[in-house]
Amino acid sequence: MNLLWWRRVLSLTKKELLQYSRDIILVIATLYFFTGEVFIGGKGVSFDLINAPIGYVDYDQSEASREWLNKLRQPYFDVKGSIDNDKDAQHYLDNSSLLGVMEIPHNFQNDLLKGQSTDISFQLDASNVILGNLANSYVSLSNASFNQEWMLKKLKINDIDEMESPSVDAKKMILFNPEGKSSWFMAISEMMTVMTLLSLFLTAAILVKEKERGTIEQLSIAPLTPFQILLPKILAVEIILLIGVALSLFLIVIPVFEVPFQGEFWLFFLVSAVYIYAMSGLGIFIATVSKNLAQVMIVSIILIMPIVLLSGAFTPPEAMPEWEQPIVHFSPLYYYINMGFGIILKGAGLNLIWTDLLSLFALGTVLFIFGISQFRKQFEN
């Protein structure tokens, strides 16, 4: 590769960046995705149970029932009040006014004083399975807390100072996200999803626009190889998206959500650059099978769904069916997420992520060669 070769590549890269800057809609869309979309993803999606609306039917009206209901407190639950009967309770669940309804039976306190077990009914709307599971877990914790306090009260009533029995004290160390902030996870995940979408779409859009303008044929008869035609477009996309990642990190993820960036910035940008390279091969393939931007968007959406769902971001590979687990390694996002979260939250260095980085580069090279071969066939035909 001589100096003239590089001059051609740099001139074409400059041309691609200039054409991109003139497309105001595309520039605004890119800025929105890396800022507004990441902000909405971090703020609008939460895996925490906050102010879940619940009601209760208290048939006992006793001190014990009031103590139990007092366990359902904010910020997890928002107790809307008492319900007269089961029919009204079912009505509130049917129209989604309440997430759950507690029902405390008659003789609740008397049974406890007699040392007899008693049941509390909890009707839960699990149509939203995430909120349903969280509400169920918090109610179980509330019940365990009530049982513990009631046992201590019973021992005190019977003048028993202490109960001689062994106990286990579990000391937990929560690493990397000690407060369990789902906004950290969602903001980073959304940024990586945006990278995935734009890596596919921008690469394909730049090529398809050449088709629409009729300039792709001119490039094909120029003294340029397919690699020389495609490399400047990939470099332009790399520059655009790396700037977008910087905006996302320094304007949204770190200052707004207070995500502690534990690792090296240069390493994260290196990983991001390799990821864009890996996705560009699929972007070139999309451009070869698409005739306009509408088709580019449709094909991009078709491809992005399995890439995201097989990345392990929301479902760990170990929880997937056995036949599906090996397919995870064909998703570039799987490696990017492992390295991205490792660098940002865990402070992982190159010595810990080099295997994933090499795997991503190898997969990207295969996809890039595949994209170039499809691009070449388009003009051979």
Domain limits at 10?
3-45+178-380
pLDDT in tens, 17-36: 998 898 898 899 999 999 99
Question: How distant, in Å, are the alpha carbons of 47, 94, 140, 177, 296 from that of 133?
Answer: 11, 18, 11, 21, 38
Of the ranges 209-223, 341-355, 360-374, the best mean pLDDT one: 341-355
Instruction: Tell me if 345 sits within 8 A of 369, measured CB to CB.
Output: no
Question: Cα 334 from chain centroid?
Answer: 12
Strand 52-58, strand 100-104: pairing: parallel
pLDDT of residue 220: 63
pLDDT of residue 365: 92
Separation between Cα atoms, residue 286 and residue 297, nearest integer Å: 9
Q: What percent of the chain has pLDDT over 90?
A: 30
Q: Do 226 and 348 share a structural domain?
A: yes
The answer to whether residue 94 sits within a structural domain is yes
Q: Do 135 and 37 share a structural domain?
A: no
Q: What percent of the chain has pLDDT over 70?
A: 90
Q: How many residues does the chain have?
A: 381
Measured N-to-C along each axis, helices 332-346 and 350-380 cross at an angle, to the nearest 10 degrees, of: 150
Question: How distant, in Å, are the alpha carbons of 202, 287, 333 from that of 309?
Answer: 21, 23, 9
Residue 345 binned pLDDT confidence (cut-offs 50, 70, 90)? very high
Residue 214 binned pLDDT confidence (cut-offs 50, 70, 90)? low
Does residue 80 or residue 49 have the better pLDDT? 80
- With a cut of 80, say whether residue 225 has pLDDT above it: no
**Burial (Cβ within 10 Å: 0-12, 13-18, ≥19) of residue 164:** exposed
- With a cut of 90, say whether residue 72 has pLDDT above it: no
Q: Do 193 and 67 share a structural domain?
A: no
The answer to whether residue 152 sits within a structural domain is yes
pLDDT in tens, 202-211: 988 888 887 7
pTM for the whole thing?
Answer: 0.82
- With a cut of 50, say whether residue 165 has pLDDT above it: no
Nearest CA-CA partner of 295 in 200, 172, 182: 200
pLDDT of residue 379: 59
pLDDT of residue 235: 93
Write the DSSP symbol of residue 105: P
Residue 262 binned pLDDT confidence (cut-offs 50, 70, 90)? very high
What amino acid occupies position 204?
A
Q: Do 270 and 197 share a structural domain?
A: yes
What amino acid occupies position 31?
L
Nearest CA-CA partner of 69 in 52, 88, 55: 55
Q: Do 194 and 289 share a structural domain?
A: yes
Interval 348-371 mean pLDDT: 92
Mean pLDDT (the chain, rounded): 85
Nearest CA-CA partner of 120 in 199, 188, 56: 56
Q: Do 376 and 264 share a structural domain?
A: yes
Residue where one domain finishes, among candidates 92, 124, 157: 157
Q: Do 295 and 209 share a structural domain?
A: yes
Q: Do 319 and 231 share a structural domain?
A: yes
Q: Do 39 and 8 share a structural domain?
A: yes
Interval 342-371 mean pLDDT: 92
Number of domains forming the structure of the chain: 2
Interval 161-185 mean pLDDT: 67
pLDDT of residue 222: 64
Q: Do 102 and 80 share a structural domain?
A: yes
Partners of 101 in the β-ladder = 55, 123
